[in-house]
Structure 1
Amino acid sequence: MTTDTNRLPFPAEPTEAQRAAIERITEGPRGGISGPFVPLLRSPELMTRLQLVGETIRFGGVLDEDLVEVVVLTVARHWDQSYEWAFHHPIALSKGVSPDDVDAIGRAERPSDGRLATMWNLVDELQRTKDVSDATYAEAVAVFGEERVVGAIATAGYYTTLAMVMNTARTPPPEGPGAALPW
């Protein structure tokens, strides 16, 4: 992805609706607005509703935190999404995903940890083929159960949406010391 020109930076003069959306997201667990929510400000109602989905996924969903991060990094790698990768790389490490497994995901390879590998298989196959084989689905359900499989698919869909928004907007990665992009 080319990040030369941020097509949708923070609005110079936010509208009343944008200011209300900023206030709402700032009062939540995110504590501020950055990344995909900056371009999404162009549609304040959509941004507000979409960020509530993300809030549920990250802060109250059915997946363990390490699994959420495996899904996010897998999607980020699939979409070559620099912001998602740089933002979530340190979070994944802090949630217990090993550096070797994070590096493997960055190379578009299966992690070595068994349950993380099962999650990666599900999300990677869905992203690459737009489908999930019976074998991959059965393995995921056996390891995680139907509720968490659905949660994983919804998480992948949410972060795919954000990746598409940021790739179109050319949202730059967060400033500061971040993880080197593996692609």
Structure 2
Amino acid sequence: MTPEQVEVYGRFTGGKRAAPGASFSLLHPDGGLIGPPNAWLLSPPLARVFERVGWTMRYDLELSDRACEIAVLLVAFHRDSPFELYAHRRAGRAAGLTDAEIEGLATRTPPAFHSDEERLVFTTTQAILDRGTLDDAEYTAAEAVLGKRGLFELVALVGYYDQVATQLAVFGVLPPAGGS
């Protein structure tokens, strides 16, 4: 690896992402990276940007972890993204979704909502995935519950994971053997 790649590698092998108890790992037992960072090493400047955005999406949003995982899983099922499904089934369970709720998202079956936030994340994410936008009524409903910041964060979250799904598909990035 180049020095730039080594620096990027270090961002994924330490801290919260690599801590015991993390819902999923981006480190293969042989020491290589798995998932999106494996492809990102092809361009260290972009890898640094995606790493920071990914960190923000996982750890710094105002939306609850459970609401975020509902959105991410809807994207992963919509895109049929094996690695995203592998990783975010685990993250979804860690955020409090049951296995039945997670698998129900594949057919857009709503989970047992714990809040209006979760309900609006579910319906808003579906609209974004279906049409790439929100109509006035959907926007107003989402903003009323999520606020402007929460709505922006949701749109960014859906867009980020949709982009990651594209990268994973193009570069053939799959979950580790035995990962489902």
Q: TM-score per shorter chain, which class?
A: 0.7 to 0.9
User: Residue 9 of structure 1 corresponds to which residue in structure 2?
Assistant: none
Aligned CA distance change for structure 1 residues 23 and 90 (closer, same or farther; 3 Å): closer
Say yes or no: does 1:99 pair with 2:92. Answer: no
Say yes or no: does 1:142 pair with 2:129. Answer: no
TM-fit CA distance, 1:97: 1.9
* Partners of 1:102 and 1:145 in 2: CA distance: 26
Q: CA RMSD in A?
A: 1.8
Aligned CA distance change for structure 1 residues 48 and 40 (closer, same or farther; 3 Å): same
* Partners of 1:90 and 1:20 in 2: CA distance: 27
The alignment of Structure 1 onto Structure 2 pairs a total of residues equal to 165
Residue deviations 1:152-179 (CA, integer Å, cap 9, x gap): 111111111111100111111233353x
User: Residue 122 of structure 2 corresponds to which residue in structure 1?
Assistant: 120
Say yes or no: does 1:20 pair with 2:22. Answer: no
**Contact 2:83/2:174 (8 A) holds in 1:** yes
Aligned pairs for 1:67-106 (under 5 A) are 67-106=67-106
Among residues 165, 168, 174, which one is paired with 1:166 in the alignment? 168
Greater relative contact order (Cα < 8 A, sep 6+): 1
* Partners of 2:93 and 2:7 in 1: CA distance: 34
TM-fit CA distance, 1:47: 0.8
TM-score (norm 2): 0.83
Secondary structure of the structure 2 residue equivalent to 1:132: coil
What residue ranges of structure 1 are gaps of 5+ in the alignment? Answer: 1-13, 179-183
Secondary structure of the structure 1 residue equivalent to 2:108: coil
User: Residue 10 of structure 1 corresponds to which residue in structure 2?
Assistant: none
TM-fit CA distance, 1:106: 1.4
Aligned CA distance change for structure 1 residues 125 and 170 (closer, same or farther; 3 Å): same
TM-score (norm 1): 0.82
TM-fit CA distance, 1:90: 2.0
Residue deviations 1:117-173 (CA, integer Å, cap 9, x gap): 321211111111111112222221222211111111111111111111001111112
Secondary structure of the structure 2 residue equivalent to 1:176: coil
**Contact 2:78/2:106 (8 A) holds in 1:** no
**Contact 1:29/1:55 (8 A) holds in 2:** no
- Calculate percent identity across the aligned residue pairs: 26
Aligned CA distance change for structure 1 residues 167 and 136 (closer, same or farther; 3 Å): same
User: Residue 35 of structure 2 corresponds to which residue in structure 1?
Assistant: 35
